Every structure is written in C-alpha cells, then in structure tokens.
A and B are shown apart, each in its own frame.
Chain A
Amino acid sequence: MKWRFLSPPIRPLLIAAAVFLLALAETAVALLAPSRAPTEADWTAAAQEVRAGFRDGDLIVAAPAWADPILRVHLGDLIPIEVAGRLDDDRFARVWEVSQRGAHAPATAGGTLTLDKRFGRLTVRRVERHAEPVGYDFVARWADASVSRREAARTVACRNVGDRMQCPDLSFNYVHRQIVEVDTTLREALLAQPVAGAAVVIDYPAVRLGRVLVVATGLHDVWMRKAARGTVEMRVTVGGQTQVLPTTSDDSGWARTRIDTAARAGQVVPVRFEITSPAPYARHFAFAAEARG
C-alpha cells in the first residue's frame, strides 16, 4: 500500500511545515530561554537554605560546575581556599549541591539524598555519603617535612624559610604550599619543580597511616605546559615500601593514585616523596597527598 501521506504533493508541504516549525521553535527559545536562568532572588533563597543546615566539613558545589563563581558570591565564606582547592571530593560526608537545568555534580554521585528543594530555577540537594576522613594532610603539614636535593655525589639539605622549603643554589628549587592550576582547575598543593640530574626528596618523618594514601599529581601553569613536553616521575616510599606513580606529563591532568595502606592502618611511619625528571625545564610539578580512612 502506498503511504499517501508522503506522496509528492504532500512532501513539499511537510518540508515547509518542518522548517516553519523549526523557525518557530528557535524563535520561542530565543524569547524564553533568558527567563530560564536563575535570578538573584533564587540564589539568595538557595543560599539561605544551605546556610541554615550547613555544618563544618560540608562541601558545597554548583552544578553545572561553571556556575561555581556565582555560588561563591553567595556562599564563598563557607568555601575556604583549602576546600575550593581540594584534592578531591572523597573526604566529604555531606555535600550540598546548588543546581540548575537538571545538572548534577559528580560529588553527589552514589550518596543518599537527604534534602531536595527548589528555589525558583535552582534546586538545593543535600547528599550524605560514605566519606574517607583525612588523618594526615601532607599539604597542610608541609612544615613537618624535611626537604633535600639528592645529586649524584651529594645530598643537599633545604631549609624552611617561612613560606617554603628553599634549597640552596637554585632559586626555583623549593617546595611551596600554594594554589596551583592543573588542567585549568585550581588545587591546593605543594609545588616542587624537578631539578636536572637530581632528585627532590621530601621526607615526612612520622605519618599516621589510614587505610589508603591518596596522592594526586599534575603540572601547574598553562603557560609552562605549553612551553615544554618533559615528563616528571614521582616515587612514594611508605614505611620502606616504594611505589612509582604514573608518569606526569602535560596531558595527564590531575592524576590520583590510591596506595593501599590498610594493612598498616594506625601505624606511624616515615613517608618519602622523590621527584625526578629527564627534562625538567618548565616542569612546575605539583602534588597533594592525604592519608585517609
């Protein structure tokens, strides 16, 4: 049977109607879409809700992530630098998500929804989830470390000069706690540039281990990543056991490695980080680490 609906005289009508409808839809969206954006009042109301239930240690995120600056206008006082530049989301047991347009933040995945309220074009959700409490934050406790530069024939000790561990002779050879930009995302980390023909060694003498040691590495600074292609190696020695982390390159982003320390959880051991590079030019290596669980 021939389907008369698509017979030649009808087809041009259908095409014209389809184009007309497309134009109509696009026109409608152009007119209506601006009103889909959250208003200042929506943000104020959503922020009030979050503030009312906020507890120390909670994480507040925006979804989509690009709304984060507006979130911080309203709730930035509850998002200190160390939280904004967190290693990852896993240590937070309660996550507040202020979302729009049906988006959800990765930080809320897998948790239990305990609150879900709409404020105009915004939705506030609170998710409670399994968290990995941090027992030792290597970035926050950078001053516990001793830093040295191990060359072929000698080892040079570096010293705490107040805001960093500075090694002698080379101005760029230091370990500094700062906000770094890795893969165009901000992290609070230790910046430790590798040195040609030497290893930068960071020793933490006494670290109480948890069930896992999480180490994240990356290359800081978009201009430095553009300037060179060299790679950086990091070896982590936990109480005498050494693990080589995946090689850090321009393209590796903020790479996390989980080292299982469950067998020695609760023990206090030395932890050493060694940083080397075959081509250290413009390698602004950054890392953060936490003993968790």
Chain B
Amino acid sequence: MRVNPRRADWLMTLGLALATVIWLLAVEGRQGFGRDESQYMRAGERYWGWFEELATNLGQGKLRQSFAAPDIDHYWSDNAPDHPVIMKTLYGISWRAFHTCTCTGPARGLHPNPIRGRHRTLPLFSRDSTAFRFPAILFAALLVALVFRFARHWLSRPAAAVAAILTLAQPHYFFHAQIACFDAPIATMAFAVGFAYWKSLRDPRWGIAAGALFGVALGVKHNAWLMPFFLVAHYLWMRRGDLRARRLPRIPLAFLAMLVLGPIIFFLHWPWLWNAPIARTRAYVLRHLDHEHYNFEYLGWNWNQPPTTTGMKLLRATAPFVETGFTVPVTTLALAAFGAAALARRRREGALFPEAEPETPVAARPSWLRPGADVDRAPGAFVLVQTLGPLCVLAVPSTPIFGGVKHFLTAMPYLAILAGVGLTAISRGLEGALPLARARLRRAAPLALAVAVCLPAVLETRRSHPDGLAHYNLLAGGFAGGASLGMNRQFWGYSVLPMLPDLDGHVPENRSLFWHDVLSDAISMYKREGRLSLAVGDTGFGEDGIKRSELGILFYEKHWAKYEGWFWEIYGTTRPIYVRAREGVPLVTLYRRGAR
C-alpha cells in the first residue's frame, strides 16, 4: 500500500511532535526548578487569578473592575517589566486545567492566589510543575514539527526527520525545552517567524502570518526584537540585484505585517501595559537594553561585566562560537559543516538537491506581495543569517552572556537543518559511489547513516539529563572536560532536585536549612508537590542565612566561592558531608554545622 506523500509527511510531522512530547514528559520530572522558572510558575498562577476574577466579575456584572488599574496591577505586576506574558499565561492556564488538585491540603498556603476550594481539573499530571511545563513542551514539539516541515522543502523525508531529531537532541536545548521558561519557546517562535517569512517570499498569505507570528514572538521573549534584523539582512541579500541597479527593494508584505501586527499583538497580549502603555513599554525595553551582567563562567574566567582590554574582548567575542562548538553533538556539527558547504556550492537558481524545491524564478517582475518570486531566494544566505545572526549578536563583548547557549538557542534549529542538508549531501555521494548492482545496499546505506548520525545526539542528550547545562560534547570531554576547561556548569539552583530526599532526611537540622541559590518559590513548589517536607526550613540568603542555619547547600559556580568560605568559617569545617556530582564533577555540596 502506498501512502499519499502529503499524508505521509503529516503523519511524520505528528509522529515527531508526539515523540518529542513523550520524551520530554518522561524526563522533565527529574529536572529541578531554577530561580527563573519558579518565578514564572508563580507569575503564571497569579495571572490565572485575574482570569478567575474576570469570570467572577462578569457574573456579577462588574466586568470593568477587572480592567481597572488596581485589579490589573494586582495580578499582572508579577514579573513585570521583566518579561511579556504569553508563555507565563499559558503556564498558568495549563496548571489550572491539568494539575491534580491537592490544593486544599497542607500546602494550601503555598499558592500565590488564595485557594478557596478544590479545583475541578482534567488531572493529566500528578505534579503541578508538569502542568506548568506542559505548554513549553508543546512548543518544543511544535519546533520539531516545524523543522521537519521546513526541511521537507529541500530534503527527503528521512533527512528532514534527522534535522528535526537533531533539533531536539542537543543537551542544552533539551534542558531548556522541558522547563516553564521562554528560551525554548522563543526558539520555536523565531523559527515560525522565519518559516512564515520564507514562505511569504512566494506566497502572500504567509506575509500576514509572518506579522501575526512576530506579534506572538514579541509576547514570548525579547529575542524577538532581533528577528527583523536577520530577515532584513537576508532580504537585502536576496534582492541585491535591486541594490546593484540603484533602486530600493520594495518593502515586502511580511515586513509591513510585522510592523503593524507586531506592536498591536504585543500591546494587546499584556494587560500590565494597558493602563500606562508608553511608560511601561519603555520600562520593559530599558530593562533589557540595560540588563545587568550576571556572573557566568567561560574558559576559566568569571564574566560579570563587559571586558575592558582588547585581549579579553576578543576572548569574550569567541563565547557563542566556542559554546556552540562545545555543546552541540560533534556529529551534528560535522554534518552542519557539510551542509553549509552544500548550500554554498548550490548554483544560483538551481535546486539544492534534485528533489528539493526549485529556486527558479516563477515571475518576471518583482512584487511586494511575492518579493521572492522573480529571484533566487538565496536559501544559503537565509540559513546562514538565521544560524550565525544570533551568535554574532552574543559575540559583541558588551552583551551579557550569563545565559550561555540559551541566549542563542534560536540558531539551533537552523544548525540542525544544516546538518540535514549535510547528511543529504553525504548520502547522495555515498549512493552514487556504490555499485548500481547493489541496489539494496544503495538504499540501505543512507538510511543506516541517518540512524547512525542521530544515535550520538540522542545518547549524549540522554546522558546529559538532568544536568544539561553541565554537559559538554566530545570535543570538550564531557562533564569532566567542561569543568577542566572552566566552562559554566549550572545556574540558578535547579540542580538540587536529586538531593531533596537526602535533605528531607536530615531531621532536625533541616529545619534551619540554607538553600543558597534556590529561590523560595522553588522550595514552595517542591513542597507543594510533596517532594519536600513542609517542615523543612529556609534561613534566607547570604552570610546571615548561613549563620542562622545548621545545614546548607552550595552550588558550584565560580562567583559563589565566598559562600564556601562562609561555610568554612561559620560551620567550622572544610568538610562537606555530601557532594552531588555528575561523572565526578561537583555540582552541589551539602555542609552540616560542626561536621568533622
């Protein structure tokens, strides 16, 4: 039975998305809550409170009250002006819809909104955090699906599937893909906007879609601000003929739609802006244009401000490239290099591969509705700009780098597509080199190669979990190699989760527990989910927190060293009672006062 190719593609798309959801849901419970994630969960739940009150007010005929400044600010000031609210709202809604309610139990007081009764839900998830994380996981699945769909324009089904798999099977992306934050979702939205823009070059319907998607992207994370620059760069390159002829290229529908729909959607989605649009938009923009430089370890240095010397600026500029080189599976990188070469070698107006979408112009004249119809769309330049653009922005020495790879995750799907292109180029060569008489071998060898190149990525990703940020690739030497190179191991206190049973067992010392970088919101969530006894204490932050404590943890990051000094002095010992390590590399240390 032959399956209709379109149907086969859709089946494959769904299969890949479903597999992504299953993989991420199967493992997310082993990953702890970072400072940011726990705040977003709290904010999402609080935002849900506004919707709940909106329904109540609607029932009581007091709808306007929900849109008055006090009501809006009561709910929507949480985590503002830091981040727009599309994802946080989705996290809140997902929590409300899918958690298994134990809300009226002993942890009732740990919710940011008062619990007035048992929630009626569709209890898909036993843990609250899974319900919060579910939308992020769906966004990751969407990205995998989109990569497959995009890649199918150029690649065979197996190669496109490989590109989709290699998008997910990157330890650092995988880490971010399962948590209720914005870095993986914005990678999805950046790809969606890029995809829509690409389609809009020859199909005006996608121009409008690009604008709408850009608006959504603006509501996900501020990385969206950069998207137009990358698209304009490609557009000018694609229409360089106009520039050579000294005429300005027409502004395409996609850019007009982005310009119009983007700000409208952004404004509409964020109630916090409604009562003071200009002042609050300004506050949001300034928050990120003038973002502080948190600490981050890179090649043995602790970076927490822009470098001042030429040597350090140069070293700092290498960060996104070296981090990519040390975190993406090496086989994926190698394939991407072949893919870049294949795209560079493509003849103008020729298809990338015989089965790929042709680049032959389909119209004689330029049109703002289909601005790529009369020219070669320059696919190589498109992928190059989308891959290198985010890295180059982070290479500017004055840019904060505290998030590591997460700051340029938007490049990773395109890197995976390059890998798919590389695989196809190699497979075609392989097929051509094998004797015609060995038909079965000619069919099997490329498939075997496709499976072989996915294996290391999947296994490395599996190996990295739940400490994806501490993981480095074959070039770097894994967890241990990354540590020896002085690369960042973690941030924001998520890696304590596997220690919770141990911490729970240290009674009564854990009544006075110093949590170091674990935010109280994260502790609350662990308690809400029953992973931590409600009796476990929190002595607060800094030196005084350690002085008040009997038991304390310390996360290994360079800039936290002085906390270890406080432990030594205040607890009177240099001897931890336990170190949580991955492959021998310390991540979290547990000290007990007076331990000998």
Contacts and interface: CB of A to CB of B under 8 A. Distances in A.
A22 B433 contact: no
A157 to B, nearest CB: 27
A76 interface: yes
B574 A16 contact: no
Given A16-B430, A16-B449, A69 B589 contact: yes
Contact of B585 (A20, A29, A66): A66
B112 interface: no
Interface string B564-596: 111011000111111101011110010000001
Nearest to B581: A70
Contacts of A185: 561
A11 B338 CA distance: 14
Majority SS of interface residues in chain B? Answer: helix
B577 A73 contact: yes
A69 B494 CA distance: 19
A227 B410 CA distance: 32
A27 B334 CA distance: 14
Contact of A29 (B427, B474, B566, B584): B474
A205 to B, nearest CB: 28
A64 B433 contact: no
A30 B305 contact: no
A20 B449 contact: yes
Contact of A222 (B304, B335, B452): B304
Interface stretch (B88-96, B127-135, B478-486): B478-486
Given A79-B574, A222-B559, A37 B430 contact: no
Contacts, number: 163
A268 interface: no
B329 interface: yes
Given A26-B329, A37-B583, A66-B586, A13 B575 contact: no
B297 to A, nearest CB: 9
Interface residues of A, number: 53
Contacts of A226: 293, 304-305
B575 A85 contact: no
Contacts of B309: 251
B480 A73 contact: no
A30 B426 CA distance: 24
A222 B568 CA distance: 18
B331 interface: yes
Interface in B467-489: 473-474, 478, 480, 483-484
B156 to A, nearest CB: 16
A70 B586 contact: yes
Interface string B282-306: 0000000000010100000010110
Contacts of B293: 226
B556 interface: yes
Nearest to A183: B302
Contact of A23 (B331, B432, B463, B586): B331
A101 B558 CA distance: 22
B568 A103 contact: no
B249 interface: no
A109 interface: no
Q: Which of A76, A85, A220 has the most CB of B within 10 A?
A: A76
B569 A23 contact: no
Contacts of A131: none
Contacts of B565: 85, 178-181, 186
Contact of B584 (A37, A221, A222): A37
A22 B333 CA distance: 11
B459 interface: yes
A66 B486 CA distance: 9
B24 interface: no
B344 interface: no
B561 A26 contact: no
A110 B194 CA distance: 58
Interface in A1-46: 9-13, 15-16, 19-20, 22-27, 29-31, 33-34, 36-38
A80 interface: yes
B534 interface: no
B263 interface: no
B302 A184 contact: yes
A148 interface: no
A186 B568 CA distance: 10
Contacts of B558: 184, 222
A197 to B, nearest CB: 27
Interface in A174-219: 178-181, 184-186
Q: Which of A25, A69, A70, A76 lies at the interface centre, i.e. has the most chain B CB atoms within 10 A of its CB?
A: A69
Given A186-B561, A186-B565, A30 B330 contact: no
Given A15-B426, A81-B568, A101-B484, 18 more contacts: A9-B432, A12-B426, A16-B445, A22-B330, A27-B452, A30-B456, A30-B462, A34-B463, A37-B584, A64-B480, A66-B484, A69-B556, A73-B576, A77-B596, A81-B574, A181-B561, A222-B304, A222-B562
Which 5 interchain pairs have the tightest Cβ spacing?
Answer: A76-B575, A12-B429, A26-B456, A179-B565, A37-B584
Interface of B: 293, 295, 302, 304-305, 309, 329-331, 334-335, 338, 426-430, 432-434, 445, 449, 452-453, 455-456, 459-460, 462-463, 473-474, 478, 480, 483-484, 556, 558-559, 561-562, 564-566, 568-569, 573-579, 581, 583-586, 589, 596
